[in-house]
Amino acid sequence: MHIMEGFLPAEWCAFWYALAIPVLIYGAWKTKKEIERDPKAKSLLAVSLGFIFVLSALKLPSVTGSCSHPTGTGVAVVLFGPSVTAFLSSIALLYQALLLAHGGLTTLGANTVSMGIVGPFFGFIAYKALKKFNLTAAFFSAAAVADFMTYVVTSLQLALAFPASPGMEGVMFSAIRFLGIFAVTQIPLAIIEAFIAVLLLRSIRTYSPEVISA
Amino acid sequence: MIETRDIWFSYGDREVLKGLNFMARQSEVTVVMGKNGAGKTTLLLHLNGLLRPKKGEVRLNGVRVSYDKRALFELRKKVALVFQNPDDQIIAPTVWEEVAFGPANAGLNLENAKRALKLVGLEGYEERLCSQLSGGEKKRLSIADAIAMDPDFVVMDEPTAGLDQPGFDSIVELILMLRELGKGVVIATHDLELATKVGDRFYYLDAGRVVYEGESIDYRLAKRLGIRGFAGMIMIASTTDTSVEQIVNFNGDSEHEILEKTLKAVLKAYRGESVLLKTGEGFIEGIRRILEGLK
Amino acid sequence: MTESLESVQMNSKKVMGPKARVWLVLLSLPLILLDTQSQLIALTLFSLLSLHASRYYLRLLLAPAVFILFSTTVILFTIEGKEIASLYFLKITDKSVEVAQSTLLRCFSAFSAFCYLVLTTTLPEFVNLIRVGFLREIMLLSYRAIQVLLEEAESLKISAEARLGFLGLRRWVKTTALIGHMMFLRSFERVEKFEMAKEARCYSGIFPSARSEGGGKILAVMIFLAIFSGLFI
Ligand SMILES: Nc1ncnc2c1ncn2[C@@H]1O[C@H](COP(=O)(O)OP(=O)(O)OP(=O)(O)O)[C@@H](O)[C@H]1O
Ligand SMILES: [Mg+2]
Mean pLDDT of C24-51: 93
Specify the CATH architecture of the domain A2-212: Orthogonal Bundle (1.10)
Task: Please tell me the pTM assigned to this model.
Answer: 0.79
Residues B128, B248 within the same domain: no
**C-alpha of residue B84 to centroid of ligand 1, in Å:** 12
Domain boundary among B187, B208, B225: B225
pLDDT beneath 70, residues of chain A: 58-71, 213-214
Report the nearest atom of ligand 1 relative to the CA of B190: 25
Q: How far apart are CA C124 and CA C139, in angstroms?
A: 8
Q: In what order do the strands lie in the sheet with B79-82?
A: B79-82, B153-157, B184-188, B29-34, B201-206, B209-214
pLDDT confidence of C184, banded at 50, 70, 90?
Answer: confident
pLDDT confidence of B159, banded at 50, 70, 90?
Answer: very high
* Predicted pLDDT at A66: 41
SS3 of chain B? CEEEEEEEEEECCEEEEEEEEEEECCCCEEEEEECCCCCHHHHHHHHCCCCCCCEEEEEECCEECCCCHHHHHHHHHHEEEECCCHHHHCCCCEHHHHHHHHHHHHCCCCHHHHHHHHHCCCCCCCCCEHHHCCHHHHHHHHHHHHHCCCCCEEEEECCCCCCCHHHHHHHHHHHHHHHHCCCEEEEECCCHHHHHHHCCEEEEEECCEEEEEECCCCHHHHHHCCCCCCECCEEEECCCCCCCCCCCCCCCCCHHHHHHHHHHHHHHHHCCCEEEEECCCHHHHHHHHHHHHHC
Mean pLDDT of B103-108: 89
How many CB atoms within 10 Å of residue B19?
A: 15
Q: Nearest-5° angle of CA C21, CA C27, CA C32?
A: 110
pLDDT tens string C42-96? 999 999 999 999 988 988 888 888 889 999 999 999 888 888 888 777 888 988 9
* Predicted pLDDT at B200: 92
- Which of the pair, A204 or B271, is modelled with greater confidence? A204
Whether A91 and C187 lie within 8 Å, measured CB to CB: no
Ligand 1 binding pocket includes B77 (Cβ within 6 Å) = no
pLDDT confidence of C107, banded at 50, 70, 90?
Answer: very high
For the cut 80, the answer to whether the pLDDT of residue B280 exceeds it is no
B286 is in which domain, residue-wise?
232-294
* Predicted pLDDT at B240: 41
- Helix, strand and coil content of chain A, in percent to the nearest 5, comes to 80, 0, 20
Mutate to test the interface with B, among C1, C148, C202, C211 (most CBs of B within 10 A): C202
Residues B275, B218 within the same domain: no
Residues B208, B285 within the same domain: no
**C-alpha of residue B48 to centroid of ligand 2, in Å:** 15
Mean pLDDT of B176-205: 91
Ligand 1 binding pocket includes B39 (Cβ within 6 Å) = yes
The total domain count for chain B is 2
**C-alpha of residue B57 to centroid of ligand 2, in Å:** 21
Residues B270, B208 within the same domain: no
Q: How far apart are CA A131 and CA C29, in angstroms?
A: 44
Ligand 1 binding pocket includes B208 (Cβ within 6 Å) = no
pLDDT tens string C144-157? 888 888 888 878 87
| Candidate ranges A151-165, B210-224, B242-256, C176-190; pick with highest mean pLDDT | A151-165
Which residue from A minimizes the CA distance to C135?
Answer: A28
Residue of B82, B72, B64 lying closest to B2 (CA atoms)? B64
C touches which chains (3+ CB pairs under 8 A)?
A, B
What are the boundaries of each domain within chain C?
5-122+213-232, 129-200
Mean pLDDT of B214-242: 52
Q: How far apart are CA C19 and CA C227, in angstroms?
A: 18
pLDDT confidence of B76, banded at 50, 70, 90?
Answer: very high
pLDDT confidence of B236, banded at 50, 70, 90?
Answer: very low
Residues B135, B209 within the same domain: yes
C-alpha dist (Å) from residue C197 to A93, A115, B189, C6: 28, 33, 20, 24
Ligand 1 binding pocket includes B11 (Cβ within 6 Å) = yes
Domain boundary among B166, B201, B225: B225
For the cut 90, the answer to whether the pLDDT of residue B186 exceeds it is yes
* Predicted pLDDT at B241: 42
Ligand 1 binding pocket includes B14 (Cβ within 6 Å) = yes
Residues B150, B264 within the same domain: no
Residue of C110, C59, C139, C57 lying closest to A108 (CA atoms)? C110
* Predicted pLDDT at A71: 55
Residues contacting A177, CB < 8 A, separation 6+: A159, A164, C74, C77, C78
- The CB-side HSE value for B268 (13 A sphere, CA atoms) comes to 16
Whether C71 and A158 lie within 8 Å, measured CB to CB: yes
**Considering only CB atoms, which chain B residues are within 8 Å of C197?**
83, 88-91
Residues B61, B118 within the same domain: yes
3-class DSSP state of C38:
helix
Dihedral over alpha carbons B258, B262, B264, B267 (to 10 degrees): -160
CATH of the domain at B188: 3.40.50.300
Nearest to B77 among C141, C147, C202 (CB): C202
* Predicted pLDDT at A201: 87
**C-alpha of residue B36 to centroid of ligand 2, in Å:** 7
Mean pLDDT of chain B: 82
Nearest to B102 among C124, C201, C209 (CB): C201
Q: Specify the range with the lowest mean pLDDT, choosing from A35-44, A60-69, B138-147, C114-123.
A: A60-69
Which residues are bridge partners to C103 per DSSP?
Answer: none
Domain boundary among B182, B209, B225: B225
